[in-house]
Amino acid sequence: MRNDPALKQRRRELRQNQTEAEKIFWGQVRNKRFYGKRFFRQYSIGPYILDFFCPELALAVELDGGQHNKVECREYDESRSNYLNAQGIVVMRFWNHEVLQNIDGVLLKLSDRVTPPGLPLTQGQEKKHADLDRCRCLPESD
């Protein structure tokens, strides 16, 4: 189930209390600013609330703080991602500091999901791409 009414209040609270990284990312993708694709913030699928979701791309974007380094959080994130992958949704995860320090690099990594493969990157794009410490992109399930 998508956007479960039982989670409506929690989704609203999360939108009202965004992290700085979420504000920056949202400013870049809202109103179809990213390749004309519509993103939703705090969108629920099943029992989970996603930071950002693009239905057209079947893409969830999660922005993670340091708490996601803890073993229990990593296990929860993996279980959650497995559930979403089973629904046909690709999950891309970025650290908050990546968004804060290199939003262009994050968007460039996201553009890999939108643009045809094989298009050459400019020198500046290559640097931004290389500057990302880690993008924990989970493979599409078969």
Neighbour order of strands in the sheet with 90-95 = 40-45, 48-54, 59-64, 90-95
CATH topology of domain 5-131: Endonuclease; Chain A (3.40.960)
Residue-level pLDDT, tens digit, the chain, 142 residues:
787 777 888 888 888 889 999 999 999 999 999 999 999 999 999 999 999 999 999 999 999 886 766 677 788 899 999 999 999 999 999 999 999 999 999 999 999 888 766 555 555 555 544 544 444 444 344 3
DSSP string of 64-88?
A: E-GGGGSHHHHHHHHHHHHHHHHTT
Q: Please state the pTM of the whole predicted model.
A: 0.76
pLDDT of residue 110: 94
Residue 67: CB atoms within 10 Å = 8
Please report, for the chain, the start and end positions of each structural domain, with discontinuous segments joined by +. Answer: 5-131
